[in-house]
Amino acid sequence: MAARKVMVWDLPVRIFHWLLVMSFVMAWLSHESSRYLDVHVFAGYSFFGLLLFRLLWGVFGTHYARFAEFAYGPKEVFVYLKSLLGKGLQSYVGHNPAGAWAIFLLIGFGLVLSVSGLMVLGGEEQQGPLAGVVSFDQGALWMEVHESVALLLLALVCVHVLGVFSESIMHKQNLVGAMFRGTKWVAGESATVPVHHLLGIAIVVALIAWGAVSFGGYLTATADKPYLPFKGPQLAMNDTWQEECGACHLAFHPNLLPARSWQRMFAEQDQHFDEDLMLDEDVVTELTAYAIANAAEQQKTEAAWEMQRTISKDQSPLRITETAYWRDQHHEIQDSVWAQNNIKSKSNCNACHMDADLGTFEDAAMKIPKPSTNPTTNSSKGEMQ
């Protein structure tokens, strides 16, 4: 019987497939840099949403998209793999047994990756629907899970791609092209499926709308009112702290050092980085109390949690820039960047961190400024920390 062209993959399945690929690639490329956490989160949410759609479409979708149509058992997978090594190569209109298992594993690992990502976002970042539910320490544990599953998923994707190309050669069918066109050349009687144009378009429109919500703030941002993708907790502020500390440099929020550091700092106020602060006793008492109540041990921000867990209990550092966490976060920044006229000092946090004044130091709220030749653009007031 002559082969005929059959619609196998409806438009929603094809759009799901390629958008899932794009979101995974976007998430992978953005996962190493905190500066692009908003991009990573956008990709992660998109990835998760697409998987949830596929679960529904696997039940209510068209013939070849339904899970029941390619729910092969271990024996069928073994027989198919064996046929690849000998004669009698079996051909399938939809997913073959090995490909079907790869799909189920991809969806399963993808769901675990998405859920673990939400746990990390809620724990380490205290953002998203699980903020306040998952602790910083729990978020760190989930990060291990998230990274491990991401590597497993990447390996599975590589195996899947290799299988697709191998099968394309063996069956002389362009399976990649079929996932774009939706059609295959099939010999014999085979079901053809409706395209479902409207649903496919709706998926694309929904993703575009989600992108507009996620990144629209950048379009209206100004130098005076920068867009902050993530807003941290509203930290307690103290007018006296802002007045006394802010007179010489950025009034670093107390959450950036442990309480013992602040106690030491005010106890040694007469030799504060070679200067005498000459603060009245009442002022010292007020500032010390404020600092202790809002120090790193309170773990109100990710930066505070990181400082608290990376500074040894027998240490009382006075310079934030000398802590292990600060050095780890900034070790890739070259000396030429620090020397820029609009930075000049490692203590000039607000040159790069748009929420430095708030003390939250959220990921993605940072941007290294372009070099400026104007010597008056340096906003640092001092070299204290």
Task: Judge if 101 and 250 occupy the same domain.
Answer: no
- Residues forming a β-bridge with 185: 5
pLDDT band at 84 (very low <50, low <70, confident <90, very high): confident
Q: Provide the CB-side half-sphere exposure for 370 (13 A, CA).
A: 0
**In this model, does residue 12 exceed pLDDT 90?**
yes
Domain boundaries, position 360 = 239-377
* Confidence at residue 374, expressed as pLDDT on a 0 to 100 scale: 56
Task: Judge if 134 and 249 occupy the same domain.
Answer: no
Q: Of 2-6, 19-23, 306-310, 335-339, which gets the smallest average pLDDT?
A: 2-6
pLDDT digits over 308-343, tens only? 999 999 999 999 999 999 999 999 999 999 999 999
pLDDT band at 55 (very low <50, low <70, confident <90, very high): very high
Task: Judge if 195 and 243 occupy the same domain.
Answer: no
User: In whole angstroms, how far apart are CA 18 and each of 34, 51, 53, 184?
Assistant: 26, 12, 14, 18
Task: Judge if 271 and 133 occupy the same domain.
Answer: no
pLDDT band at 377 (very low <50, low <70, confident <90, very high): very low
pLDDT band at 168 (very low <50, low <70, confident <90, very high): confident
Q: What percent of the chain has pLDDT over 90?
A: 78
For residue 232, tell me if it sits in a domain.
Answer: no
User: In whole angstroms, how far apart are CA 15 and each of 23, 24, 53, 250?
Assistant: 12, 14, 11, 49
Task: Judge if 190 and 284 occupy the same domain.
Answer: no
**In this model, does residue 10 exceed pLDDT 80?**
yes
What gap in Å lies between CA 127 and CA 123, rounded to an integer?
A: 8
Residues 6+ apart with CB under 8 A from 141: none
**In this model, does residue 83 exceed pLDDT 90?**
no
Q: Give the residue-averaged pLDDT of 357-370.
A: 91
Residue 25: both structure tokens together: 């690639």
Three-state SS string over the chain comes to CCEEEEECCCHHHHHHHHHHHHHHHHHHHHCCCHHHHHHHHHHHHHHHHHHHHHHHHHHHCCHHHCHHHHCCCHHHHHHHHHHHCCCCCCCCCCCCHHHHHHHHHHHHHHHHHHHHHHHHHHHCCCCCCCECCECHHHHHHHHHHHHHHHHHHHHHHHHHHHHHHHHHHHHCCCHHHHHHHCEEEEECCCCCCCCCHHHHHHHHHHHHHHHHHHHCHHHHCCCCCCCCCCCCCCCCCCHHHHHHHCCCCCCCCHHHCCHHHHHHHHHCHHHCCCCCCCCCHHHHHHHHHHHHHCCHHHCCCHHHHHHHHHCCCCCCCCCHHHCHHHHHHHCCCCHHHHCCCCCCCCCCHHHCECCHHHCCCCCCCECCCCCCCCHHHCCCCCCCC
For residue 221, tell me if it sits in a domain.
Answer: no
Q: Give the residue-averaged pLDDT of 359-370.
A: 91
* Confidence at residue 81, expressed as pLDDT on a 0 to 100 scale: 87
Total tally of structural domains belonging to the chain = 2
For residue 231, tell me if it sits in a domain.
Answer: no
* Confidence at residue 148, expressed as pLDDT on a 0 to 100 scale: 98
Task: Judge if 202 and 253 occupy the same domain.
Answer: no
* Confidence at residue 373, expressed as pLDDT on a 0 to 100 scale: 58
For residue 364, tell me if it sits in a domain.
Answer: yes
**In this model, does residue 372 exceed pLDDT 80?**
no
Task: Judge if 211 and 274 occupy the same domain.
Answer: no
For residue 292, tell me if it sits in a domain.
Answer: yes
Tracing tokens 């499926």 back to the chain, one arrives at 193
Could you tell me which of 99, 113, 101 has the C-alpha nearest to residue 162?
Answer: 99
Task: Judge if 251 and 170 occupy the same domain.
Answer: no
* Confidence at residue 378, expressed as pLDDT on a 0 to 100 scale: 45
Residues 6+ apart with CB under 8 A from 263: 288, 291, 292, 316
Mean pLDDT of the chain: 92
pLDDT band at 371 (very low <50, low <70, confident <90, very high): confident
Task: Judge if 245 and 136 occupy the same domain.
Answer: no
* Confidence at residue 376, expressed as pLDDT on a 0 to 100 scale: 47
**In this model, does residue 131 exceed pLDDT 70?**
yes
For residue 254, tell me if it sits in a domain.
Answer: yes
Beta strand pairing call for 3-7 and 183-187: antiparallel
For residue 384, tell me if it sits in a domain.
Answer: no
pLDDT digits over 221-247, tens only? 988 888 999 999 999 999 999 999 999
CATH assignment of the domain containing 41: 1.20.950.20
Task: Judge if 196 and 273 occupy the same domain.
Answer: no
Backbone angles phi, psi at 183, to 5 degrees: -110, 155
For residue 10, tell me if it sits in a domain.
Answer: yes
**In this model, does residue 2 exceed pLDDT 70?**
no
* Confidence at residue 250, expressed as pLDDT on a 0 to 100 scale: 92
pTM score over 0.85: yes
Task: Judge if 325 and 193 occupy the same domain.
Answer: no
pLDDT digits over 255-296, tens only? 999 999 999 999 999 999 989 999 999 999 999 999 999 999
Task: Judge if 171 and 307 occupy the same domain.
Answer: no
* Confidence at residue 82, expressed as pLDDT on a 0 to 100 scale: 86
Backbone angles phi, psi at 341, to 5 degrees: -60, -30
